């Protein structure tokens, strides 16, 4: 996880707080702007649509095990180490993305397994709003089986904490100069932000 901090709090903690607020309240901004947000809720957000389309391409790359294409979607500052890790089928990153059998821990499921076994694969972009710490807009890409995971479940902090890591794959993004950039390594590899920090 990137060690970037703002106001003494890690990016993971900040984004975890946004995730909790966004999913539990249904708001994509702060409480003071909830009324204006509701008035514009039905309007399509082109930035979120762009992120969802990006998610579709990422999902296709995972399902095709297309590592070269997948690398193009990762963090540019981590590309060389990601490329090296994905050449090793026993590396933690490779296992996390493609091979459940070599993941350490209880009931491990790779990103590939979650996506390939989904009866109705859904990819959803959820706005996290602008951070009060750095003024940057954040959002989350959710990959999940729409036949077993409902929108209400996505809004449940209990579900995210207790079952999220096994039922969902999530990747956090930030909007920089009109383009979405990943905040974390592939599918939040090495983080635990599905269970927001207190």
Q: What is the pLDDT of residues 27-58, one digit of tens each?
A: 444 433 333 444 445 578 999 999 999 999 99
Distance CA 160, CA 99 (A): 23
Distance CA 28, CA 30 (A): 7
- This prediction has a pTM of 0.77
Q: Let me know: does 138 contact 174? Beta carbons within 8 Å.
A: yes
pLDDT for 40 equals: 46
pLDDT in tens, 153-176: 988 888 888 888 888 999 999 999
pLDDT for 158 equals: 87
pLDDT in tens, 53-111: 999 999 999 999 999 999 999 999 999 999 999 999 999 999 999 999 999 876 679 99
Distance CA 123, CA 110 (A): 17
How sure is the predictor about 7, in pLDDT bands with cuts at 50, 70 and 90?
very low
pLDDT in tens, 173-189: 999 999 999 999 999 98
Provide the token pair at 77: 């500052």
Which of residues 194 and 73 earns the better pLDDT score? 73
pLDDT for 190 equals: 78
Which of residues 165 and 4 earns the better pLDDT score? 165
What separation in angstroms does the CA of 186 have from each of 38, 135, 154? 32, 24, 20
pLDDT in tens, 105-141: 766 799 999 999 999 999 999 999 999 999 999 999 9
Q: Let me know: does 70 contact 62? Beta carbons within 8 Å.
A: yes
């Amino acid at each position: 996880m990137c060690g970037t901090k703002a106001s003494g709090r890690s990016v993971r903690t900040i984004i975890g707080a946004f995730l909790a607020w966004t999913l539990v309240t249904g708001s994509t901004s702060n409480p003071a702007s909830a009324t204006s947000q509701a008035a514009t809720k039905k309007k399509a957000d082109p930035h979120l649509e762009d992120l969802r389309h990006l998610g579709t391409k990422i999902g296709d790359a995972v399902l095709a095990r297309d590592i070269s294409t997948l690398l193009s979607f990762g963090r540019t500052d981590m590309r060389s180490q990601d490329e090296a890790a994905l050449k090793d089928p026993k590396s933690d990153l490779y296992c996390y993305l493609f091979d459940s059998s070599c993941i350490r821990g209880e009931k491990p499921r790779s990103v590939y397994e979650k996506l390939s076994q989904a009866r109705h694969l859904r990819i959803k972009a959820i706005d996290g709003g602008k951070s009060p710490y750095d003024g940057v807009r954040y959002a989350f890409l959710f990959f999940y089986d729409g036949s077993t995971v409902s929108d209400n479940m996505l809004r449940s902090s209990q579900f995210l904490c207790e079952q999220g890591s096994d039922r969902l794959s999530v990747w956090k993004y930030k909007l920089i100069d009109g383009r979405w950039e990943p905040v974390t390594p592939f599918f939040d590899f090495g983080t635990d932000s599905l269970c927001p920090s207190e």
